[in-house]
Amino acid sequence: MKPIKLHRFVLAASGLLLLFVLAWPVVRPAYRAVFVKTAGLVNVLIPGDAQVRVRAAKEPKGYKDVEFGLGLHSTGKVYTGRGAGSFWRGYIFLAAFGALCLATPIPWRRRLKSAVIGIVLVQALIVVRLVVPMLSGFSLSPKPGGGRLMELGPTTQRIVEGMEVALWMNSTIFVLLVLFLWAALTLRAEDLERIEA
């Protein structure tokens, strides 16, 4: 098999990522619908009476094109909300993963298989990542009649706040997870032996 030229791979992956980013205005409505639908799955991961309502923003403000409402199942009301951007909270990670998979100089069948499986897994990680700011929002938002929408103990509150900083406010750890997933799904030992600078 031919050696893998690292600089060619980096250029190809960068070019594909640029194409995926430039395609955002075209794919935005479709991806935002997927983001909203899958983000609704956070309700499965959040315990108790807490409920998250996710919808496409009626009037997007800048990059914030999705609205999250925090409420309670028991009342059916939403008490507080926050906006997020489906590009920066989801699409860019899928685009980077897809670019890495498609640029990797391995047989096309393996590239496509890795891309399909990985995109599903990355989207699942995006949903899990959304749970952290939702838990933080519930634990900090007042409930009518006193208390918070979700009461967390002091230790759990500190853990949630730390995870929010690490996973939501700072994307470095999430980017590393995406890179690890790409390497695990796409590369084999013999591929690593073929890499040349």
- Residue-range definition of the domain harbouring residue 94: 4-44+86-196
- pLDDT value, residue 109: 94
- pLDDT value, residue 1: 61
- pLDDT value, residue 197: 63
Is residue 114 in a domain?
yes
- 21-to-25, 63, 124, 126 alpha-carbon distances in Å: 9, 14, 21, 18
Question: What one-character DSSP code corresponds to residue 3?
Answer: -
- pLDDT value, residue 118: 96
- pLDDT value, residue 179: 94
Is residue 49 in a domain?
no
Distance CA 79, CA 141 (A): 8
Residue-averaged pLDDT of the chain: 87
Task: Give the Cα-Cα-Cα angle 105, 111, 116 (nearest 5 degrees).
Answer: 155
Number of domain units in the chain: 1
Distance CA 187, CA 143 (A): 49
Is residue 37 in a domain?
yes
Is residue 145 in a domain?
yes
Q: Which residues of the chain have pLDDT under 70?
A: 1, 4, 197
Is residue 68 in a domain?
no
Is residue 52 in a domain?
no
